[in-house]
Amino acid sequence: MNQAEPEAVFYFDTVSPFAYLAWKALRREPLGIPVKPVPVVFGALLKHWKQLGPAEIPPKRVHTYRYCQWLADKDAIPLTFPPAHPFLSLPSLRLIVALGSTTAAIDDIFDRIFKAGRDLSSPDEIASACEALGVPVRTRKAPFTKVYSASRRLRSGRSCSGATMPWEWHGTS
């Protein structure tokens, strides 16, 4: 019997500073097994479970931002929040999917949002990112099938590439 190679599944939404910091940590210190990045719509998960995100609760927002900045400083990861947060992450997720969800695409988009502090929910900023990444106009509205199907499986509690929760870690400690 042929067993599948182990892999880590990294579920992320570009709205999450925690996802940015985790991605940077994974890029700095690889796990030694393949990492499959899976973009999801965090807002859809929150809506399904009738929850607010940490940045939608004012006292929690302040704590979240301070904690993220502390984590970034501790690990020497550049962090500059975009002008508005939370923001509509669908355009940046759409661009990542249009680019094949590659590590280079995810690196670039996360850096634009949380390193440079750009607002990729802005039509001008997303157009600039598309142009810089060589994405033709016709693919700027890439289908969200991959993003939405992963989000739907997570909302239903069904397995998504072997994981039962979006935050489950499939790697070494």
The model's pLDDT over 64-106, given as tens digits with 9 standing for 90+, comes to 999 999 999 999 999 999 999 999 999 999 999 989 999 999 9
CATH T-level fold of 8-155: Glutaredoxin (3.40.30)
The pLDDT value given to residue 172: 36
Q: What is the DSSP letter of 100?
A: T
d(CA 68, CA 75): 11
pLDDT at 152: 53
How many beta carbons lie within 10 A of that of residue 42, not counting itself? 22
Domain positions in the chain are 8-155
Q: Quick one: pLDDT at residue 137?
A: 54
Closest among 95, 89, 96, 98 to 121, alpha carbons compared: 89
Reduced to 3 states, what is the DSSP secondary structure of residue 146?
Answer: helix
Give the C-alpha separation, 66 to 157, whole Å.
31
* Residue 171: predicted pLDDT: 35
What pLDDT score does 5 carry? 82
For the chain, give the mean pLDDT: 82
Task: Give the chain's residues under pLDDT 50.
Answer: 139-146, 148, 154, 157-173
pTM: 0.79
| Distance in angstroms (rounded) separating the CA atoms of residues 102 and 118 | 20
